[in-house]
């Protein structure tokens, strides 16, 4: 058995009577449930603009979130990819986090609404999000953004996506520098089992059964899981990993994904990357 801090314990009690994602058996219902849970009135001090990026994988809706007090300035870029097992999450359900990041960083938070499962599966979301990243780099002046250095960030599945975008940016020579990588409880493997998967198989916010359902829905082909985009912990080559930017991993200790984050952080460190692993005790995934 494990303990939760008071805030997390209250949240766990709140959702205890709600079905877990896998119990809905329906991607749209899982999406709708999270949208309802995360309902939020837009903050008065934050400006959110929406654009559409066309291309091979578009059109993709993208939210640009910034503090109103900085609305007339060119600002740094935080490119944020959201979690939710590739089937849940939106700019609306992540609004509280995006607004807080905009306030705290003084940056524009660029939030691509990548196509969810079941409408597309692996690796579509990686190429779609990279297409948006390239567009942003090429159109900074149009959207009052600062060229040069970009921070990539993401949580859970979105952290998995942020790792993949870093990998693609190195392979495809993105004409901008990824200066920082910020990961909250990232997924880093689809092909191996780690102890925390079993230890926290009944965790309140993300159970093993829900995780398996989301994994199987996103990457149904077993062979696809043995690739750098799907399982960066195992398959990104050392020489590429060594080129990753300074990275911070924020991990929760009551989380089936915690060992994945630790293992990826350790691998970054062994490759010579400036990587910090920060654990929040008695906190569950989704509430870092």
**In this predicted model, what pLDDT tens digit does every residue of 40-69 receive, in sequence order?**
999 999 999 999 999 999 999 999 999 999
Q: Please state the pTM of the whole predicted model.
A: 0.93
Locus of tokens 């940016």: 169
Residue 282 has pLDDT above 60, yes or no: no
In sequence order, which residues have a C-beta less than 8 Å from that of residue 1 and are 6 or more positions away? Answer: none
What per-residue confidence (pLDDT) applies to 5?
Answer: 60
Greatest mean pLDDT among 33-42, 159-168, 278-287 lies in 159-168
Q: Which domains does the chain have, with CATH numbers?
A: 6-284 (3.40.50.1820)
Rounded Cα distance, 75 and 143, in Å:
9
Rounded Cα distance, 178 and 160, in Å:
16
Give me the active site residues, please: 156
In sequence order, which residues have a C-beta less than 8 Å from that of residue 143 and are 6 or more positions away? Answer: 49, 51, 64, 108, 136
* Cross-strand pairs, 222: none
What per-residue confidence (pLDDT) applies to 106?
Answer: 98
Average pLDDT, rounded, for the chain: 92
Is residue 267 within 8 Å of 192, Cβ to Cβ? Answer: no
What Rg value do the Cα atoms of the chain yield, rounded? 18
Is residue 59 within 8 Å of 16, Cβ to Cβ? Answer: no
Please write the tens of the pLDDT for every residue from 241-274: 999 999 999 998 888 999 999 999 999 999 999 9
């Amino acid at each position: 058995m494990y303990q939760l801090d008071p805030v997390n314990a209250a949240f766990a009690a709140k959702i205890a009577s709600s079905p877990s994602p896998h119990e809905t058996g329906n991607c749209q219902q899982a999406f709708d449930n999270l949208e309802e849970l995360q309902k939020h009135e837009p903050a008065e001090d934050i400006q959110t603009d929406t654009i559409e990026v066309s291309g091979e994988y578009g059109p993709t809706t993208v939210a640009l979130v910034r503090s109103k007090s900085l609305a007339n300035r060119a600002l740094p870029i935080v490119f944020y990819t959201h979690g939710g097992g590739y089937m849940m999450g939106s700019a609306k359900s992540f609004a509280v986090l995006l607004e807080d990041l905009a306030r705290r960083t003084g940056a524009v938070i660029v939030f691509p609404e990548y196509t969810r499962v079941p409408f597309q599966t692996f690796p579509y979301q990686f190429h779609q999000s990279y297409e948006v990243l390239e567009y942003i780099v090429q159109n900074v002046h149009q959207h009052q953004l600062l060229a040069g250095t970009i921070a990539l960030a993401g949580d859970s599945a979105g952290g998995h996506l942020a790792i993949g975008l870093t990998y693609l940016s190195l392979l495809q020579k993105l004409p901008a520098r990824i200066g920082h990588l910020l990961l909250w409880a990232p997924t880093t493997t689809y092909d191996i089992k780690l102890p925390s998967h079993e230890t926290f198989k009944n965790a309140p916010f993300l159970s093993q059964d829900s995780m398996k359902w989301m994994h199987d829905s996103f990457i149904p082909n077993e062979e696809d899981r043995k690739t750098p985009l799907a399982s960066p912990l195992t398959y990104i080559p050392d020489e590429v990993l060594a080129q990753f930017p300074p990275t911070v991993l924020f991990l929760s200790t009551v989380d089936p994904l915690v060992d994945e984050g630790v293992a990826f952080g350790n691998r970054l460190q062994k490759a010579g990357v400036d990587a910090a692993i920060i654990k929040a005790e008695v906190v569950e995934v989704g509430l870092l």
